[in-house]
Structure 1
């Protein structure tokens, strides 16, 4: 009985007003391979948990746009636990076909020191028994010149 009460008390935190939604940031984009009709990128994210209890994450769906065109979309079923008042990192592989955006990409990479805008729309699946979906929308920028040397 004690275990059940303790478990339910912990779960109630996610349904109370004391729950603060986690922050998610795109921290790195790495080109894994590039072929004419398919590219693979490794996307690295950081989740920050501002709550007093650990946050079990059971997956994520996402859509990532770069300067207005889709870099990748998909889902991950990766499980991880973000510590209370802490952060955790995870990686996703994104497959895309940038052929139709080639002209725009070449123009962007001609000036590798110019920032490129990104937009991330995601939904974190949290919880163990009681699932809660946390919508996330982030915008930011990155400078390709900081990452290009890692691809060669």
Structure 2
């Protein structure tokens, strides 16, 4: 049986290289996505399209090079708006960038939501925003972002009204 001899300097070099590679896959903090504008686009058949302005904030010490973003927004358990884009800006380390994305609102989803709102008009709106950001660098990682909460309905204040 043949024995393979490996020198100590080679083993030391291999250990250093493995340690360096392990440091490349450090933690990636999720970027923040904020809606900055909404604009209705012309209706297309039974689908309303909405242009959404986004601000992408990078809290990491390295630049983000994204290759795609997919967003969905639901209200009261109804999937409402969906969209995707591959036209994303470069986001510098500890910086931000602006992007635009077109989301679609299907007529059926809108009708389902209106039906639920009519049944419970005083209940708060539950929203859920989900986004998937696919990065080119570092290391072709996929980030999933999610935000959920509720929006309280506005109530008319009629308690102080007086008749004259």
* TM, length-normalised to structure 2: 0.61
Task: Give 1:87's match in structure 2, choosing from 93, 96, 113.
Answer: 96
Q: Which residue of 2 aligns with 1:7?
A: none
Structure of larger gyration radius: 2
* TM, length-normalised to structure 1: 0.65
**Which runs of 5 or more structure 2 residues have no equivalent in the other structure?**
1-20, 118-123, 153-164
User: Shift in Å at residue 29 of structure 1?
Assistant: 2.6
1:15 equivalenced with 2:31 (yes/no): no
Structure 1 stretches of 4+ moved >4 Å: 11-14, 103-108, 140-143
Q: Partners in 2 of 1:64 and 1:84 — Cα distance?
A: 27
Q: Which residue of 1 aligns with 2:141?
A: 132
Asked if the contact 1:36–1:99 (Cα under 8 Å) also holds between the matched residues in 2, the reply is no
Question: Higher relative CO (CA 8 A, sep ≥ 6), structure 1 or 2?
Answer: 1
Q: After the TM superposition, which residues 1-150 of structure 1 pair with which residues of structure 2 at under 5 Å, given as runs?
A: 15-17=25-27, 19-34=28-43, 37-99=46-108, 101-102=110-111, 104-105=113-114, 117-128=126-137, 130-139=139-148
Q: CA RMSD in A?
A: 3.5
User: Shift in Å at residue 139 of structure 1?
Assistant: 2.8
**Which runs of 5 or more structure 1 residues have no equivalent in the other structure?**
1-10, 109-114, 144-152
Return closer, same or farther for 1:131/1:72 CA change in 2, 3 Å cut-off. same
